[in-house]
Amino acid sequence: MNHALLASTEFVPPTTKDFSKWFEEGNWWLGPWQVGPFEFGLNFIYFLVLMALATYLLFFFFAFRKPKVVPGKLQLVAEMGMDFVKENTAMSMIGPRGVAYLGLLSALFFWILAGNIYEIIPGVNFSMNSRLAFPTVVALVAYFAYHAAGIRQHGFFGYLKHSLILPGVPPLLLPLMFLIEFITVFITRPLTLAVRLFANMVAGHFLLSVFFLGTVGMLFSGKVLLMAFSPFAGALAIALVGFELFVAGLQAFIFAVLTASYIGQSIAEDH
Amino acid sequence: MRFALGIIAALSDEGLKAIGKGLVYGLAAIGPGIGIGVLMGKSVEAMARQPEYAGQVRGIMFIGIGLIEALALFGFVLSFII
Q: What is the pLDDT of residues A138-168, one digit of tens each?
A: 999 999 999 999 999 888 998 888 888 888 8
**pLDDT of residue A214 exceeding 90:** no
Chain A residues close to B36, C-beta within 8 Å? none
How does residue A17 score in pLDDT terms, banded at 50, 70 and 90?
confident
Contact call for residues A83 and A110 (beta carbons, < 8 A): no
Q: What pLDDT does A213 receive?
A: 87
For chain A, say whether B55 makes contact (Cβ under 8 Å). Answer: no
Q: What pLDDT does A169 receive?
A: 82
Name the phi and psi angles at A167, rounded to 5. -75, 150
Query: Strand, helix or coil at A30?
Result: strand
Name the phi and psi angles at A184, rounded to 5. -65, -50
Taking the model in full, what pTM does it have?
0.86
Q: What pLDDT does A56 receive?
A: 92
What proportion of chain A, given as a percentage, has pLDDT over 90?
Answer: 32
**pLDDT of residue A23 exceeding 80:** no
Nearest Cα neighbor of A259 from A204, A201, A194 is A194
Nearest Cα neighbor of A216 from A15, A1, A8 is A8
**pLDDT of residue A235 exceeding 90:** yes
What single-letter amino acid sits at A41? Answer: G
Q: What pLDDT does B43 receive?
A: 95
Residues 6+ apart with CB under 8 A from A101: A90, A94, A145, A149, A260, A263
Chain A residues close to B67, C-beta within 8 Å? 192, 258
Average pLDDT over chain A, rounded to an integer = 86
| Cα–Cα distance for residue pair A201/A248, rounded to 1 Å | 8
For chain B, say whether A257 makes contact (Cβ under 8 Å). Answer: yes
Q: What pLDDT does A1 receive?
A: 45
| Cα–Cα distance for residue pair A219/A191, rounded to 1 Å | 42
What proportion of chain A, given as a percentage, has pLDDT over 70?
Answer: 96
Nearest Cα neighbor of A142 from A101, A182, A201 is A101
Average pLDDT over chain B, rounded to an integer = 87
For chain B, say whether A164 makes contact (Cβ under 8 Å). Answer: no
Contact call for residues A252 and A263 (beta carbons, < 8 A): no
Q: How far is CA B9 from the centre of its chain?
A: 30
Q: What is the pLDDT of residues A75-125, one digit of tens each?
A: 888 899 999 999 888 888 888 888 889 999 999 999 999 999 999 988 888
| CA dihedral sign of residues A93, A94, A96, A98 | negative
Q: Output A22 or A51, whichever has higher pLDDT.
A: A51
Q: ipTM greater than 0.85, yes or no? A: no
Rounded to an integer, the average pLDDT of A210-221 is 86
How does residue A270 score in pLDDT terms, banded at 50, 70 and 90?
low
Nearest Cα neighbor of A118 from A262, A271, A265, A1 is A1
Residues of chain B with pLDDT under 70: none
**pLDDT of residue A129 exceeding 60:** yes
For chain A, say whether B73 makes contact (Cβ under 8 Å). Answer: yes
**pLDDT of residue A5 exceeding 70:** no
Chain B residues close to A199, C-beta within 8 Å? 73-74, 76-77
CA distances from A99 to A63, A69, A93, A150, B55 (A): 21, 21, 11, 16, 20
Query: Strand, helix or coil at A83?
Result: helix
Across A19-23, A69-73, A115-119, B58-62, the highest mean pLDDT is recorded for A115-119
Taking CB atoms and an 8 Å limit, are A261 and B63 in contact across chains? yes
DSSP 3-state percent helix, strand, coil across chain B (nearest 5) = 95, 0, 5
Q: What pLDDT does A134 receive?
A: 92
Contact call for residues A124 and A48 (beta carbons, < 8 A): yes
Instruction: Give the nearest partner residue to B76 out of A192, A203, A253, using CB atoms.
Output: A203
Q: What pLDDT does B47 receive?
A: 94
Q: What pLDDT does A146 receive?
A: 92
In eight-state DSSP terms, residue A185 is I
